[in-house]
Amino acid sequence: MKLYEMTLKEASEKIKKQEITALELTQSILDRIKEVEPKVDSYITITEEEALNRAKEIDEKIKAGEEVSVLAGIPMAVKDNICTDGVKTTCASKMLENFVPPYDATVVKKLNAAGAIMVGKTNMDEFAMGSSTENSYLKKTKNPWDLNKVPGGSSGGSAAAVAAGQAFYALGSDTGGSVKQPAALTGLVGLRPTYGRISRYGLIAFGSSLDQVGIFTKDVTDCAIVLRELAGKDKMDGTSAEVEVADYEKHLDKDMSNIKIGIPKEYFVEGIDADVKKAVLDGVEKLKELGATVKEVSLPHTDSAIATYYVLAPSEASSNLARFDGIRYGYRAEGYDSLEGLYTKTRTEGFGDEVKRRIMIGTYALSAGYYDAYYKKALKVRTLIKKDFVDAFEDVDVIIAPTAPNVAFNIGEKTSDPMAMYMEDACTIPSCLAGVPGMSIPCGFKDGLPIGMQIIGNYFDEATMLKVAHAFESVTEFKDQRAKL
């Protein structure tokens, strides 16, 4: 096995036993990036020199006998909407093409403290708006399983980087499914925690009541390890929660005898690919064989989730992105003749079509005369969607559904049809609106492309969600399959 093919945990054990050095491991990832990046286009920025210097520091600590974290010396990647001190953070937008933050996001600070080695910043849909990573101003990322397909979005660069062996794990962000959906399309484990479980400080805002930092890994154990490192209250983020953080790795076992699984009938309807549906239900049968109890549940407001999301998220986006006006932040156009002209020309040139579309939708929904009819009504429906999950979790421990309605689609196939693109997140948006945690794990293949199974947990109960995912993973071989590049 080549070094870059190992899991995070396997690599960490070899470093600690001094069978390999952090420098060798980092070099193997950098070599892999040089080998496949021209095909995949996962990264916007590669921090080779910083990564090698950091690896040398970790090796010196280990040689000196210092105790180091399980993440020490492990190369990883960060989505380009998460601030990194001294390293460009572009949001894949012309608006922030040259922005260099003077500080680290809390998640980056925590990983640095643990000895992690960042090898680069990954591509994404501009300002995290999209489901295919085709909306990036800078490049289009390809799916490592088939270079003619999309990797999903908006964290497609992070997903592709891990799937292609260009990082052992990666951070993404998830507003309506931007970690879970690309994880499904690239055959990875992708986790979005409960809203408030991980600090959002330093994550450039899209929809503040929805945004969450998420994690991409090759298997569930790695995911549990990274989540343990990132979770917890942060004084820099008032929305982060003061809730005890479990040692998630210790909860991983195959005993499903006390687990009750809910199958929401609204997620297995017309529009879900037949092979995707079969793979997910076969996965549920595997968990049943391990002792889990399975029952049907209902989430009756599921069909309102897309409309609700595409009122609330753009409304928050229109407010959050108002600061990018050429005066306070970001790109400034040239050749204007008035203040209004400066605003108009800067935002016309600085934003891409999808960002402009969402700003206009959000501004309309928030405007006088329409606020009650759209924004306020959407907030009420969101409360009903949340209540659906609260009611369901009175009877079950986790809910299982497809992550995405289809496997990865062709590049360019849906770019001219925004509604078709929005439907790619139909299975992930409801839980995001409710704020409950969710993850995707690989559960099958169709035409050589991965299928994702979504496991949704109760509030702050990531431990049970990871336990169910690990049990399934332990009796199947999907996690061991890698994209051939």
Query: What's the rounded Cα separation, in Å, for the pair 301 and 460?
Result: 22
The single residue of 12, 28, 42, 154 carrying the catalytic annotation is: 154
Structure tokens at 364: 């309309």
DSSP string, 326-358: SSSSS---SS-SSHHHHHHHHHHHHS-HHHHHH
Among residues 405, 402, 483, 401, which one has the least CA distance to residue 449? 483
| Distance from C-alpha of 273 to C-alpha of 481, rounded to nearest angstrom | 22
Tell me the one-letter amino acid at 279.
Answer: A
Residue 257 annotated in active site: no
Q: Is 154 considered catalytic here? A: yes
Report the half-sphere exposure of 23 (CA within 13 A, side-chain side): 10
Question: How far apart are the C-alpha atoms of 414 and 227, rounded to whole Å?
Answer: 33
**DSSP H or E segment with residue 372:** none
- Which of 12, 28, 79, 467 is an active site residue? 79
132 is catalytic: no
Q: Bridge partners of 3?
A: none
Out of 42, 155, 173, 178, pick the active-site residue.
178
Tokens, residue 268: 């297995």
CB burial of residue 78 (10 Å; 0-12, 13-18, 19+): buried
Q: What is the DSSP string of 82-113?
A: B-BTTB---TTSGGGTT---SS--HHHHHHHH
Task: At 131, give phi and psi (nearest 5°).
Answer: -125, 20
132 neighbors 414 (Cβ within 8 angstroms): yes
Helix, coil or strand: residue 405: coil
Report yes or no: 39 and 485 within 8 Å, Cβ to Cβ. Answer: yes
Half-sphere exposure of 225 (CA within 13 A, CB side): 23
Active site residues: 79, 154, 178
